[in-house]
Amino acid sequence: MPRSFLTALAGILAALLIGAGVMLAQGYNPAATYAALFEFSLGDVDSLATTLKNAIPLILTGLSASVAFASGPVNLGQPGQLLFGALLATLGGLYLPLPAPLLIPSLLALAMLGGALWAGLAALLRRAFDMSEFIVTLMLNSIADLFTFWAITGPLADPDAFSPMTPAIQPAGWLPEWGEFSSALLVLALAAAGIWFVFQRWTAGYEWRLTGQNALFARLGGCNISRNFVAVMLTTGALAGLAGGLVVMAGPHRFLKGLGANYAWDGVMIAVVANNSLPGTLLYGLFFSALQTGALGMELITAVPSEFIQVLQAVIVLVVVASRGRLSEWLDVWAARRRARVKPLAPAPD
C-alpha cells in the first residue's frame, strides 16, 4: 500500500508539472491556476459539497469498471448503462404514484435495474453468440445514447422546454439536501460499502477476483466461469445504472440532453488509473471530481479554458500508469542495492 501510494503521488506530481509546463508555454501562471483550481473545488464548504456531489457518478462508474476489469469482463459500457439507469429512474419518477419513503428506494432500484438490463444484454450476447463484450458494450453505448435522446425528444419530451429534456420527476422522488450536502452521498457510501463487501469479503467476490487473475485456475478450482461472468456484468451494470439514477434524483430532477456525456469515459479512466483497486477508485474519483469542479472557477480567475482539465486528466492517467511500472522497478533496484550495501557478501575465505 505505501509503495503504490508513493508511485501514484509521484505520477500525479509529474503530471501536474507537465500541465504547468503547458500553461507556461501559453503564457499562463501555473501557480495561480492550480491555486484557483483547488480553491474552487475544496476551498470552502459550499465548493467541497459540490465536489463531493460531482464525485458520485465518477466513483460509481469507476467502481463498476474496476470490479469488471479485476474480474475479467471488459465492461466498457458504463456510459450506456448510466443512461438506461437514468432513463428508468426518470420513468418511475414521472409515473409511479408513491409517497417519498417508498418512491426513493423504488427509483434507486429501477436505476440499478436499468443499468443491469443494458449490461445484461451484452452478457446475453456473450453467452448466446460468444461475442466479445468489449466491442458489444461500446456499440451498446452508442445505441443507448441515440435511444435515450429519442426518448427525451419524443415520447417523454417536456413540451414547454426549449431544449430536449423530460419534465421534472415528482418532488417525492427528489433526494433531500442535508444542509449543503446531498443525501445521494449516503447512497454512494452504502453502494461502495456493499460492493466492497461483496468483492473483498464474499465468496462470490473471491471467485470473481480469482477468475480475473487466472480463469483457468478458477475453473479447475470449481468456479462456474460463465455464471460468474453474467453476475459480474449485472452487478457492474447496476452500479453504473445507479450513478445515472442519482444524477437525476439529486441534480436536475429530470433527464436532460447530454446527461451522461460528462461521465462518458470517466469511469473507465478512473479504474485504469486506480489499477482496479476499490479504495484507489474512491480516491481518484474524488481527485478527478475536484479537478472538474474547480475548472470553471479556474477559468474565471486565470482565463485558462476549463477544457484544459480534460487534457490534464489524460496526462495524469498516462503518467501515473507509466510511472507505476517504471518507478516500482527502480524502487526494487534501489532497495536491492541498499540491502547489498548493508549486508556485504562475506569475504571469501583464504
Partner 1 sequence: MRIFIGLITGTLASATPILLAALGGAFTYYAGLFNIAMEGMLLVGAFCAVLGAYFFQSWLAGVLCAVLGATALALLFILFAIVLKTDEFVTGIALNLFAVGATTYLLRQIFDVKGSLSDPRLPAIPAVTIPLLHDVPVLGAVVSGQNLMVYAAGLATVISAYLIFGTRFGLRLRAAGHNAASLETSGVSAARVRVWALLACGVLCGLGGAFLSLGYVRLFAENMSAGRGWISLAAIILVNGNPWGLAVIALLFGFSDGLGLLLQSAQIPSQFTGMVPYLATLLALSVYATRRAKARPA
Binding site for partner 1 (CB under 8 A): 26, 125, 129-132, 135-136, 138-140, 142-143, 146-147, 149-150, 153-154, 265, 268-269, 272, 305, 307-315, 317-318, 321-322, 325-326
With vertex at residue 83, the alpha carbon angle to CA 78 and CA 89, rounded to the nearest 5 degrees, is: 125
CB of 232: closest distance to partner 1 in angstroms? 18
CB of 324: closest distance to partner 1 in angstroms? 9
CB of 161: closest distance to partner 1 in angstroms? 18
CB of 7: closest distance to partner 1 in angstroms? 13
Nearest in space to 270 (alpha carbons), one of 292, 253, 286, 259: 286
CB of 314: closest distance to partner 1 in angstroms? 4
Can you read off the three cell numbers belonging to residue 162? Answer: 426549449
- Of 174 and 308, the one with the shorter C-beta distance to partner 1 is 308
- Of 113 and 269, the one with the shorter C-beta distance to partner 1 is 269
CB of 185: closest distance to partner 1 in angstroms? 26
- Of 207 and 266, the one with the shorter C-beta distance to partner 1 is 266
- Of 153 and 183, the one with the shorter C-beta distance to partner 1 is 153
- Of 124 and 283, the one with the shorter C-beta distance to partner 1 is 124
Give the DSSP per-residue string, 46-103: HHHHHHHHHHHHHHHHHHHHHHHHHHS-----HHHHHHHHHHHHHHHHHH----HHHH
- Of 84 and 174, the one with the shorter C-beta distance to partner 1 is 84
b/e per residue 291-319 (b: at least 16 CB within 10 A): bbbbbebbbebbebeeebbeebbebbbeb
Q: Are 62 and 284 in contact (CB under 8 A)?
A: yes
Using the structure block, give the residue that is written with the C-alpha cell 480463469: 215
User: What is the CB-side half-sphere exposure of residue 76 using CA atoms within 13 A?
Assistant: 15
